[in-house]
Amino acid sequence: MRVLVTGSSGFIGSHIGEALRDRGHGVRTIDLRSGEDVRDEATVIRCLDGVDVVCHQAAKVGLGLDVSDLPDYASVNVLGTAVLLAAMARVGCDRLVLASSMVVYGEGAYDCEEHGRVRPGPRAEADLRAGRFEPRCPICGAAVTPGTVAEDAPMDPRNAYADTKVGQEHLSASWARSTGGSVIALRYHNVYGPRMPRDTPYAGVAAIFRSSLERGEAPRVFEDGDQRRDFVHVRDVAGANVLAVESVSSGGDAPTGELTPYNVASGEPHTIGEMAIALAKAYGGPEPVVTGEYRLGDVRHIVASPERARSGLDFRASVSFEEGMAEFAVRN
């Protein structure tokens, strides 16, 4: 089939294009680096000619530095998606795979011994400044135990990027209801691997640590390093997109008129500190330094359940944490 990949020159988009071609699919691309803007309707309509499925990866990523970033995030992520969806409706292309993110959940899942499953609010700066990093039960203030978050968890975005990813999902769901189209939203967890952006304020933490090692500096780990994440390799993410493209085009587990979300994760959580140690060891650089610094808008723990992706898409991550970090430490 013919697939349009937006953001095709980016970190994840470039791997998706390769994976689709390896499966025998035709790939058409659109990317701002090539002078093609997904916010330009005429360009999008031209690129949609003969396309069966759109794989929408184009986005401004990162948490954002401050409120001055809001217009750019809204323009690239929300307006860009709205223009794309309107163009798809105009030409009759009704199959979409959307790059979403774990950030739509805010904090992950937590259990209180007395009150069961709870949703802690944003952490107060006074607590972070005092080194109190763990969320507490919003009802009684007791300690809570982190668990795994599933796709039916309520959305609770905590920063500009997260707000726009929620917006993309809502717009895509409205488009599906209005047109009878099908959407699979892939909620990526912490993606890393070759071609990962680095040396920018919006780079992912793995890339920031690797850049420090290349400069001969110790990776600086914020908070106490015990923040739990699910690190998933970009080749596995690309594979999940191929499965989603094939599922949505065949009508498999992607019903018409709806958006179906999937966590794309390894299912094997690790702490930020463990990741920094693994990279430093593989690179042969200085050991990480735990700084106690923090960023407002960061969440403490976010670990996914990958069960729906396993049952619905037959997706299973194949690159182990050890293998992936060792590769990333020496290759970009």
At residue 325, the 3 state secondary structure works out as helix
3-state secondary structure 76-94: HHHHHHHHHHHHHHHHCCC
What's the pLDDT score for residue 164?
95
Identify the bridge partners of residue 144 per DSSP, sorted by sequence position: 112
List of residues 6+ apart from 281 with CB closer than 8 A: none
Which pLDDT score, from 0 to 100, does residue 165 have? 96
Q: Tokens for 49, please give them.
A: 């000619």
Q: Does domain 2-108+149-329 have CATH number 1.10.390.10?
A: no
CB 157 within 8 A of CB 104: yes
pLDDT at 199: 64
Residue 229 · residue 272 · CB < 8 Å: yes
pLDDT at 215: 94
311 φ, ψ (degrees, to nearest 5): -80, -35
Residue 32: its pLDDT value, please?
85
Q: For residue 1, with 0-12 CB atoms within 10 Å meaning exposed, 13-18 middle and 19 or more buried, which class applies?
A: middle
Is residue 239 a contact partner of residue 163, using CB atoms and an 8 Å limit? no
Task: Give, for all 332 residues of the chain, the pLDDT tens digit.
Answer: 999 999 999 999 999 999 999 999 999 999 988 889 999 999 999 999 999 999 999 998 876 667 888 999 999 999 999 999 999 999 999 999 999 999 999 999 999 999 999 999 889 999 999 999 999 999 999 999 999 999 999 999 988 899 999 999 999 999 999 999 999 999 999 999 999 887 655 568 899 999 999 999 999 999 999 999 999 999 999 999 999 999 998 766 677 899 999 999 999 999 999 999 999 999 999 999 999 999 887 899 999 999 999 999 999 999 999 999 999 998 76
Please say whether the beta carbons of 266 and 188 come within 8 A.
no
pTM for this predicted structure? 0.94
Predicted pLDDT of residue 221 = 97
Whole-number pLDDT of residue 159 = 86
Neighbours of 257 (CB within 10 A): 15
User: Cα dihedral angle (30, 35, 41, 46), rounded to 10 degrees?
Assistant: -60
Domain ranges of the chain: 2-108+149-329
